[in-house]
Amino acid sequence: MPLTPAAPHPRYDALLAEWCDLLRRCQEPTADDAPAPDPAPYGADLLGRWAEPQRRYHTLDHLQAVLDHATELTAYAVDPDAVALAAWFHDAVYRPDRSENEERSAHLAERALPEAGVAADRTAEVARLVRLTVTHDPAEGDHDGEVLCDADLAVLAGDPAAYAAYAAAVRSEYAFVPDDAFRTGRAAVLRQLLALPALFRTSYGKDQWERTARRNLTTELELLTA
């Protein structure tokens, strides 16, 4: 029997329209006044990547959440559009069995954005921001880095049910990893996050998310190492 195609994400059309508006704002005028590249094929490619079947947490829902949180933090950004572009690309390449996803995602941005009509300096900034999501440790005063990293980590500050769903989705992405090895690796990630001087760098993130996120991380670590 033929496979039934997956139902489209309920926010697919809205996300594609949001991408097209964003890219149009970021496209540079062409030297010969030729039409700028159509944003839609680039958006469709990105949305297809975010909908790949190996994903359980790094999905279109995560993309939507990061975009929403970045919008929530717009007042803290120097270049909100660069932050939004970085949100679109930050997990565009994602294989749970590989460690270079952020680097590959940054390379994708470096290839796609100039072709789509984005200037070299903004493309470089987007790629830099994507690479920051390896450590979530932007330098002091890196306001756009702070906004992207805070938006990406905001999931850690969910209520207990939302955080449990997040942790379960992460485990599902790594279903190929035996339990003992997963617990060891996940515990190391949690300790790395808890060792940061602050999980969140914007004043909003510190005030609204820091305490809850640390409590959630500590609880998960205790459960993993009990």
Q: How would you write the pLDDT of the chain (226 residues) with one tens digit per residue?
A: 344 445 678 899 999 999 999 999 999 987 777 889 999 999 999 999 999 999 999 999 999 999 999 999 999 999 999 999 999 999 999 999 998 999 999 999 999 999 999 999 999 999 999 999 999 999 999 999 999 999 999 999 999 999 999 999 999 999 999 999 999 999 999 999 999 889 999 999 999 999 999 999 999 999 999 8
pLDDT of residue 2: 40
Domain count, the chain: 1
DSSP 179-217: HHHHHHHHHHHHHHHHHSS-S--SHHHHHHTHHHHHHHH
CB within 8 Å of 19: residues ≥ 6 apart: 39, 42, 43, 46, 47, 88
pLDDT of residue 5: 42
Q: Is 118 inside any structural domain?
A: yes
Q: Is 199 inside any structural domain?
A: yes
Report the C-alpha gap between 147 and 66 in whole angstroms. 10
Q: Is 128 inside any structural domain?
A: yes
CA distances from 33 to 15, 60, 85, 118, 216 (A): 28, 35, 24, 15, 53
pLDDT of residue 6: 55
Q: Is 3 inside any structural domain?
A: no
Report the C-alpha gap between 199 and 160 in whole angstroms. 18
Q: Is 63 inside any structural domain?
A: yes
Structural domain range at position 59 = 12-225
pLDDT of residue 31: 76
CA distances from 103 to 35, 126, 128, 177, 197 (A): 31, 12, 10, 23, 25
Q: Is 26 inside any structural domain?
A: yes
pLDDT of residue 179: 97
Long-range contacts for 92-97 (Cβ within 8 Å, ≥24 apart)?
A: 92/46, 92/49, 92/50, 93/49, 94/49, 94/52, 94/54, 94/55, 94/58, 95/54, 96/54, 96/173, 96/174, 96/176, 97/176
Instruction: Residue 117: give its domain's CATH number.
Output: 1.10.3210.10
pLDDT of residue 57: 97
Q: Is 92 inside any structural domain?
A: yes
Q: Is 160 inside any structural domain?
A: yes
State residue 53 phi and psi, 5-degree precision.
-70, -20
pLDDT of residue 204: 98
pLDDT of residue 7: 63
